[in-house]
A and B are shown apart, each in its own frame.
Chain A
Amino acid sequence: MISTYRRRKLANMLMLSLLGAAALVAVVPLIAVAAYVVLEGAGAINLDFFTQLPSPAGEAGGGMGNAVVGTLELVAIASALATPTGVMAGIYLAQQGRGTRLGPLVRLLSDVLNGVPTIVVGLFVYGLLVLTTGSFSALAGGVALGVIMLPVIARTTEEAVLQVPSSVREAALALGLPEWRATLRVVLPTARSGILTGVILGVARISGETAPLLFTAFGNSFWSLDPTKPIASLPVQIYNFATGPYESWHRQAWGAALVLMTMVLALNLAARWLSRSR
């Protein structure tokens, strides 16, 4: 009897420490990646990094100003396309779609779209916009990122709208507002911080995406803001520089990774803070 008891206690101790070890091992990669990115990247960050063009192959100096601006433009195009679309679809899922057959289907497809490999989205937009217009473009890159962002915004909007207390809606309706005005003037403002969280999460998700940009925005070694022309972006620049042969390129790639990771982690923490303070 005693031996069974001791065996159970030992098994308990052993398994609980294994579970604790698993949790510790799970955070090691984050620390390892973050430490290297900070250590290797910090040296490459200076004013030139944000204001200069990349220097010619193999030469030291230069920056990634065009890629920083390009990433901002791509994210802006994607947000401008995906935010209104996603919010409207989210309203549908939370309100009209309830109790219908279409609602759950759209919700499922939205989740499925969220899981489509982003490189496939890149191929899709390549066929849709690059082949038809005959050129890589910032617009095509923005559309590809927008497709990836759309389900994130739709689902978070749905959740935010569902969290609005029904007394708030009913009060608005009781005052004689038609449903559409009650939704736009009362429900949406109440759900604002939830929707904002969704947009921030969406931006965080797409700003580091590389694969969908390879065949759409392509890349550009010069300054460009023209949405009909190829445009540089930080993730694609990291890929090109990291796989290139020059030491100076590798340093710049680490610098770009530091900028990108800081941005994405800050956006994620902001979204967490925003959803917790609600």
Chain B
Amino acid sequence: MARELRTGMLPPRVRRASINWGDRAFHGITTGFALLIAALVALLVLELATESVPALSRFGPGFLASTSWNPVTGEFGALPFIYGTLATSALALALAWPIGVGAAAFLTELAPRFVRSILGTMVEMLAAVPSVVYGLWGVFVLVPLLRERVEPWLIERLGVLPVFSGPPFGLGVFAAGLLLAVMILPTLASVSREAMSAVPRGQREALLALGATRWEVIRAVVLAQARSGLVAATVLALGRALGETMATVMVIGNSPSINVSIFAPASTMASVIANDFNEATGLQKAVLLELGLILLVVSLAVNTAARLMAARSTR
């Protein structure tokens, strides 16, 4: 059934029989460009893998578990950056998830049409703001606010917990997590909205007819039916947070260290590459390329999983 008229311009059997040289050339050319996209992905992996060979052969898999970072003695480990990446992404997801999914539910289920189009456009415009602009805003607005108001307030009240301990730096995991939360919000909201709009109208009406409240309909029908779409939204947002660079490098404080406190400065895999690559030489360059390779492989896996899930949920 997939092979019928709308699968191409002509049925495959006719197409194969076509002797028009122009068509053959045209098919060859478009296929070539399509293959170029596939080749680019392969080339990305290949290129980064070759460039990071010195680091790969020197440190092996122990690289992932080592915390040393000393360009002078040539000792490098990835753990602080893996920690920074996971900590900022987890914080961002925890902050953005309820807001993004809640906003999506409000926009699909409750908002009148004009509110939906205004708020919907504004949320999507969040995705259009360049990440360096978020970084700039972070450096001059968010970080001072955190250092002088928010973090002292939190430390005073919740300082007994190790996560909220330590001096209020401003720059650190907390600031980066907040900025990332803003940046992944539109991804979360728009993918969730798509999944929620795909839920059949009749199911909502059936439950309403049984006397359910609007919230009960949202919980029992919309959120439940859209669950795999919500998972896809979460994974896509996570992928974005893991690789986000500029906003993070500007507010995270850039220190290759692991601290329990979310107010402490740290580094992510992406931020250390942005910060150090142009000054690095020799082995350090290979180490940063290996971090890039790890980031690439993780993002390929995360995005493939998310796309496959999203494709299944809207079908």
Interface residues of A (CB under 8 A from B): 8-9, 11-12, 15-16, 18-23, 25-27, 29-30, 32-33, 36-37, 40, 85, 88-89, 91-93, 95-99, 102-103, 105-106, 108-121, 123-124, 126-128, 147, 150-151, 154, 166, 169, 173, 178-183, 204, 207-211, 214-215, 218, 235, 238-239, 242-243, 250, 253-254, 257, 260-261, 264-265, 268, 272
A277 to chain B, nearest CB (A): 15
B208 at the interface (CB under 8 A from A): no
Residue of B nearest to A121 (CB): B44
A66 to chain B, nearest CB (A): 17
B68 at the interface (CB under 8 A from A): no
Within the complex, which residue of B2, B129, B308 is in contact with A30, where a contact is CB–CB below 8 Å?
B129
B51 at the interface (CB under 8 A from A): yes
Pairwise interchain contact A99-B245, C-beta atoms closer than 8 A: no
Known: A19-B105, A26-B100. A112 touches B303 (CB 8 A): yes
Within the complex, which residue of A36, A124, A128 is in contact with B141, where a contact is CB–CB below 8 Å?
A36
* A215 surroundings in chain B (CB, below 8 A): 277-278
* A265 surroundings in chain B (CB, below 8 A): 125, 128-129
Give Cα distance in the complex from A166 to B20, angstroms.
21
Pairwise interchain contact B47-A127, C-beta atoms closer than 8 A: yes
21 sampled A-B residue pairs with Cβ under 8 A: A11-B213, A12-B213, A19-B106, A22-B98, A25-B99, A27-B123, A27-B126, A32-B141, A96-B31, A106-B38, A112-B303, A113-B37, A114-B303, A123-B51, A123-B277, A150-B37, A179-B10, A183-B9, A243-B139, A264-B128, A268-B128
Give Cα distance in the complex from A85 to B50, angstroms.
26
* B20 surroundings in chain A (CB, below 8 A): 178-180
Contacting A at CB under 8 A, from B292-311, are: 292, 295-296, 299-300, 302-304, 306-308
* B25 surroundings in chain A (CB, below 8 A): 180
A interface footprint on B108-140 (CB within 8 Å = 1, 0 otherwise): 011100000001011111101111111111011
B107 at the interface (CB under 8 A from A): yes
Residue of A nearest to B21 (CB): A178
B85 to chain A, nearest CB (A): 10
Known: A26-B99, A116-B300. A239 touches B250 (CB 8 A): yes
Give Cα distance in the complex from A11 to B37, angstroms.
50
B223 to chain A, nearest CB (A): 11
Give Cα distance in the complex from A37 to B133, angstroms.
8
* B205 surroundings in chain A (CB, below 8 A): none
Pairwise interchain contact B307-A111, C-beta atoms closer than 8 A: yes
Contacting A at CB under 8 A, from B218-242, are: 218-219, 236, 239-240, 242
A171 to chain B, nearest CB (A): 12
Pairwise interchain contact B30-A261, C-beta atoms closer than 8 A: no
* A204 surroundings in chain B (CB, below 8 A): 128
A263 to chain B, nearest CB (A): 10
* A183 surroundings in chain B (CB, below 8 A): 9, 26
B71 to chain A, nearest CB (A): 18
Give Cα distance in the complex from A103 to B91, angstroms.
37
Residue of A nearest to B122 (CB): A27
B270 at the interface (CB under 8 A from A): yes
Number of interface residues of B (CB under 8 A): 103
* B161 surroundings in chain A (CB, below 8 A): none
Pairwise interchain contact A102-B34, C-beta atoms closer than 8 A: yes
Pairwise interchain contact A23-B103, C-beta atoms closer than 8 A: yes
Pairwise interchain contact B245-A93, C-beta atoms closer than 8 A: no
Give Cα distance in the complex from A132 to B32, angstroms.
25
Known: A19-B106, A112-B41, A117-B296. A127 touches B8 (CB 8 A): no
Within the complex, which residue of B123, B295, B304 is in contact with A117, where a contact is CB–CB below 8 Å?
B295
Known: A119-B273, A261-B133. A180 touches B5 (CB 8 A): no
B189 at the interface (CB under 8 A from A): yes
Pairwise interchain contact A20-B106, C-beta atoms closer than 8 A: yes
Complex A-B, nearest 8 residue pairs according to Cβ-Cβ distance, in ascending order: A208-B130, A117-B243, A22-B102, A180-B26, A115-B303, A88-B33, A12-B213, A99-B7
A202 to chain B, nearest CB (A): 12
Known: A26-B99, A123-B277. A242 touches B136 (CB 8 A): yes
Interface residues of B (CB under 8 A from A): 2-3, 5-10, 12, 15, 18, 20, 22-23, 25-27, 29-38, 40-41, 43-44, 47-48, 50-51, 98-103, 105-107, 109-111, 119, 121-126, 128-137, 139-141, 182, 185, 189, 213-216, 218-219, 236, 239-240, 242-246, 250, 270, 273-274, 277-278, 288-289, 292, 295-296, 299-300, 302-304, 306-308
B233 to chain A, nearest CB (A): 13
Known: A8-B213, A98-B2, A110-B37. A23 touches B107 (CB 8 A): yes
Known: A11-B215, A27-B123, A180-B25. A120 touches B48 (CB 8 A): yes
Residue of A nearest to B306 (CB): A115
A27 to chain B, nearest CB (A): 5
* A23 surroundings in chain B (CB, below 8 A): 102-103, 106-107, 111, 119, 123
* A91 surroundings in chain B (CB, below 8 A): 30
Within the complex, which residue of B51, B98, B129, B245 is in contact with A264, where a contact is CB–CB below 8 Å?
B129
Pairwise interchain contact B299-A178, C-beta atoms closer than 8 A: no
A158 to chain B, nearest CB (A): 10
B266 to chain A, nearest CB (A): 17
Pairwise interchain contact A29-B26, C-beta atoms closer than 8 A: no
Within the complex, which residue of B36, B40, B106 is in contact with A22, where a contact is CB–CB below 8 Å?
B106
* B33 surroundings in chain A (CB, below 8 A): 85, 88-89, 92
